[in-house]
Amino acid sequence: MGWLEGRFDESVVTTTLEQAMNWARESSMWPMTFGLACCAIEMMAVGCSRFDIDRFGAGAFRATPRQADLMIVAGTVNFKMASRVRRLYNQMPDPKFVIAMGACTCGGGPYYMYGYNVVKGVDLVVPVDVYVPGCPPRPEALLEGLMRIQDKVKGMKSLTKGQPIDMPIPSRTGYTLLPTELAPQV
Amino acid sequence: MATANLAITDPTVIEFDVRTDEMLVNMGPQHPSTHGVLRLVLRTDGEVISEVTPHLGYLHRCAEKIGENVTPIQFIPYTDRMDYLAAMNMNLGFSMAVEKLCAMQVPEKAQVIRVIIAEMNRIASHLVGMGAYGLDLGTFSPFLYAFREREMILDLFEEVCGARLTYSYLTVGGAHDDLPAGWVEACQKFLDYLKPRIDEYHTLLTRNHIFVQRTANIGLLSKQQALTYGCSGPMLRGSLDRTQGDPEFDLRKIEPYCGYEQYDFKAVVPPFPEWVPAGAVIGDAWHRFMVRMLEVIESIKIVEQGLRKYATAQGSHRIDPPKHLPPGEAYVETECPRGQMGFYVVGRFTKDPVPLRVRARSSSFCNLSVTNELCHRCLIADVPAIVGSIDIVMGEIDR
Amino acid sequence: MTPAAILDVLKQRFGDKIKSSKLDGPDPFAVIDPSDLLEVCRFLRDDSRLGFAFLNCISGVDYLEPDPKKAPKAGFAPHLEVVYHLSNFAPKERFHRFGLKLILPRWKDNKPGALPEVPSVTSLWRTADWHEREVYDLCGVWFTGHPELTRILLSDDWQGHPLRKDYEFPLEYHGIRAR
């Protein structure tokens, strides 16, 4: 801020517009009420008095994706549900963030081996910002995940760089290569 | 439907002879009051429902296929994830099915621990059921109150097994560990704390005028319907009438397991003359809710007796199960918070620790199948009130 | 009533339509032919002594050892079973349970892909509606006379019946990797 600092009264804070916007955005994340399975109960516990997600400004659970900017995928996603999760994600306005809560959404969890109907990680369906492992994660873990999302928001540079918000790209394509395919073809 | 002479206060009566179009409304799978990922397709005529079709399977997690690939002890954690609000009761049901197949006799101390833990989880489950039902009907406070008490039960469970939600504590042959030192006193202290709180819930919901208006005489389920649809638990008992000579259909009473016959408690069967508000009739949503509330009181009684029994209980907290399952099949039903939960285990003929088939008979599955009958000719706004009174858990329905 | 008494009542009424029975195991059951199922079930439900008002559960069990090396020692010939668990609605003294079992070929007329057929008991117990849909969905048993026999848990375009022992897990579903 250089030359601006110290020129005003003590009650005035100087900052950049971008930082102010990011600060406002990170302090009022609106999650979507979207409980899928067991983890949803822990998500409810986070919203209740003991853990109280409202302390971090994310307590306004919205019933519709169109008003939410944080999607907490709480629970196993299966193939029947996958297209719905995708549609809900598409309905959310930008900028939007996704927390994959629980082992099932991180990568199939206990249903990896014999779960013929379970999506092995919700990142095959929607891009994920923060993974919160655990089966189910403790409420403190979900709060930690929320703070990591807030860190991410703090670093957004949508104004100064004049570029669209840096959206996360799924790091997995969904297909794994066999060792024979990895080896250079002769 | 030209019925202009009827009272206009009844919104299900269309006063004028106006032709309205039928409409299909999708409720779910993402809907705050369908308790998870249930999808209901409502065929409505204006505001009046003519047909409800539940669509399941949005949480089908292949538990039965997993059951025939892992040993029973390994399967216990998957039973946790079926009915995640009453995971201890699920552990108990599956363990009992395996024990029945292996013809194991569980020692007395393990039985007492099982009863204490299962009833504590019933209290926790009914608290969530009550809080979430309030949430469905638009009141948030009971939910916060219920979770305040539930967190204390979870603290007790955490002391016992280290987990908050998925415990895997009751296992084949008894309980995984003995109760830790000082747990009995802590539990008794919690029960003394809980007992006066129940009156708070009654003032918040049971006697609340809006709540009574939303639930009394809504979603009537007759005894005959309940029987033919295989409803069980509070759903069935809410439709029974003690004065008509209906049996106390609670498996803890009629088919006692884990030594429930030694405990002094009542199966909760209507009528409740000292509670019933004007307008409520047996079989409606209010009665189903009330059965759950009164079951909490009975569960407290059982836990207190169990804590006294625990001091003198003989034997170990666990015996080792045999290495191989014997051939044959066993089907066991237990009384879970949501109804009769059955487990069917088939052993292999070869010496193998892995069962040939594991089947879970889900209580919510049967309870939910009656939705179409309950919602017939009701208003759209009553659908959450009816579905909430069934108190479903999708993990158990879809398995 | 004791299981033996229930079986006696059944044998008096149906004679050799009761193919076999097992009373000494953890759960007593009787084996009947699929063609007699409706008749026997109606008797079980309506007889005043038996009065099985509840159909607790319908389960399909696939008896098959997919590993050809283990198959000779498995102890059973490949077949499919449908098990009905019944109980009555009565106080403690008169409460009883009983099981019915149908033994079916794994495929109708041994033609792979043709589902074996069982008459539906939906007309007797409404519980059977969803349970039969589930057995059809997961185990692949066709219930004739069922009002709407469609998949219930899996999506409508799913291939195969997962609880068959020779079921192969899908590699992908609608573009999503499945393994």
| pLDDT value for A174 | 45
pLDDT digits (tens, 9 = 90+) for C93-113: 888 999 999 999 888 888 888
**Per-residue model confidence (pLDDT) at position B378:** 87
The minimal CB distance from A174 to the residues C154, C162, C177 is found for C177
Task: Identify the H or E element spanning B158.
Answer: helix B141-161
Residue closest to A139 by CA, chosen among C19, B280, B154, B136: B154
Measure the CA–CA gap between C92 and A42, rounded to whole angstroms: 39
Furthest CA-CA distance within chain C: 58
pLDDT digits (tens, 9 = 90+) for A127-179: 888 899 988 899 999 998 888 888 888 877 766 665 545 444 444 444 545 55
What pLDDT score does B184 carry?
A: 92
Tell me if C57 and B228 make a contact (CB, 8 A cut-off): no
Cα B77 from Cα C45, distance rounded (Å): 37
Per-residue model confidence (pLDDT) at position A3: 67
pLDDT of residue A159: 67
What residues in C contact B227, CB-CB < 8 Å? 53-54, 89
CA triplet C168, C149, B63: central angle to 5 degrees? 40
Quick check: B2 pLDDT over 50?
A: no
Q: Rounded to whole angstroms, how far apart are CA atoms C14 and B131?
A: 52
Average pLDDT, chain C: 88
> Rounded CA gap, B317 and B110, in Å?
4
As given in the structure block, the two tokens for residue B385 are 């009130």
Q: Which of B104, B105, B108, B74 is nearest to B91 (CA)?
A: B74
More confident residue, C101 or B29: C101
Residue A180 has a pLDDT of 58
* pLDDT tier for residue C60 given thresholds of 50, 70 and 90: very high
For chain A, the chains sharing at least 3 beta-carbon pairs closer than 8 angstroms are B, C
Mean pLDDT, residues C41-63 taken together: 89
Place of tokens 């068959």: C164
For position A162, what pLDDT does the model report? 56
Q: Measured between CB atoms, which of A116, A174, A176 is closest to C176?
A: A174
> CB distance from B37 to chain A under 8 Å?
yes
Residue B141 has pLDDT above 60, yes or no: yes
Are B84 and A34 within 8 A, CB to CB? no
DSSP three-state, residue B345: strand
Q: Closest by alpha carbon to B60, among A37, A186, A157?
A: A37
Q: What is the pLDDT of residues B230-251, one digit of tens each?
A: 899 899 998 988 888 888 888 9
Tokens of A92: 């959310």
Rounded to an integer, the average pLDDT of B286-306 is: 92
Of B70, B128, B166, the CB nearest to A38: B166
Residue C8: which of C23, C42, C124 has the closest Cα?
A: C23
Identity of the residue in A88, A115, A136 whose CB atom sits nearest the CB atom of B30: A88
Query: B232: which strand partners?
Result: none
CA distance C170 to chain A (A): 7
Confidence at residue B6, expressed as pLDDT on a 0 to 100 scale: 45
What is the mean pLDDT of the segment spanning B214-234?
Answer: 89
CB C90 within 8 A of CB C99: no
Query: What average pLDDT does this structure show over B194-208?
Result: 87
DSSP chain A: -GGGTTSS-TT-----HHHHHHHHHHTT--BB--B-SHHHHHHHHHHSTTT-GGGGT----BSSGGG-SEEEEES--BHHHHHHHHHHHHHSPSS-EEEEESHHHHH-GGGTTT-TTB-S-GGGTS--SEEE-SSSPPHHHHHHHHHHHHHHHHT--TTTT-S-------S--S-PPPHHHHSPP-
Please name the residues between 98 and 137 in chain A that touch chain B, using a CB distance below 8 Å.
Answer: 110-111, 113-118, 135-136
Whether B256 and chain A come into contact, CB under 8 Å, resolves to no
The predicted structure's pLDDT at residue B360: 92
Cα–Cα separations (whole angstroms), residue B41 to B22, B249, B358, C134 = 13, 32, 31, 19
Indicate the burial class of C34 (C-beta count within 10 angstroms; 0-12, 13-18, 19 or more).
Answer: middle
Report ipTM (2 d.p.): 0.91
pLDDT at A179: 53
Phi then psi for residue C157, to 5 deg, are -95, 20
Chain A residues lying within 8 Å of C173, measured CB to CB: 79
- Mean pLDDT confidence for B16-25: 75
Please determine, for residue B328, whether its predicted confidence score (pLDDT) is greater than 80: yes
- Please name the residue of chain C whose CA is at the shortest distance from the CA of residue A173: C177
Distance, in Å, from the CA atom of C169 to the CA atom of C160, rounded to the nearest integer, reads: 9
Tokens of A8: 């005003």
**pLDDT given at position B4:** 44
User: The tokens of B304 are what?
Assistant: 């207190």
Cross-chain residue pair C152–B255, CB shorter than 8 Å: no
Average pLDDT, chain B: 87
* pLDDT the model gives residue C132: 92
* Closest CB to B69 among A114, A135, A138: A114
The pair of three-digit structure tokens given for residue A112, joined into one six-digit string: 């990896």
Contact B359 C91 (CB under 8 A): no
Q: In B104-113, which positions are buried (b, 16+ CB within 10 angstroms) versus exposed (e)?
A: bebbbbbbbb
CA–CA min distance C140, chain A (Å): 16
Q: Chain C interface residues facing chain B, Cβ-Cβ under 8 Å?
A: 25-27, 53-57, 59, 61-63, 70, 73-76, 83, 85, 87, 89-92, 95, 97, 99, 125-127, 129-130, 138, 151-155, 162-163
pLDDT at B11: 62
pLDDT at B1: 41
Tens of pLDDT, residue by residue over A36-74, are 888 888 988 898 888 888 888 888 888 888 889 899 998
Kind of pairing between the strands at C29-32 and C54-63 = unpaired
Q: Given an 8 Å threshold on Cβ–Cβ distance, is B328 in contact with C74?
A: no
- For C61, the closest of B62, B103, B346 (CB atoms) is B346
* pLDDT at position B18: 64
**Rounded mean pLDDT, B351-358:** 89
pLDDT of residue B334: 92
Quickly state the pLDDT bin for B305 (edges 50, 70, 90): very high
Per DSSP, B65 falls in state H
Strand pairing partners for B345?
B330, B358
The reported pTM is 0.89
Residue B300, pLDDT above cutoff 90: yes
Residue A68 contacts by C-beta under 8 Å, 6 or more apart in sequence?
A30, A31, A32, A62, A92, A96
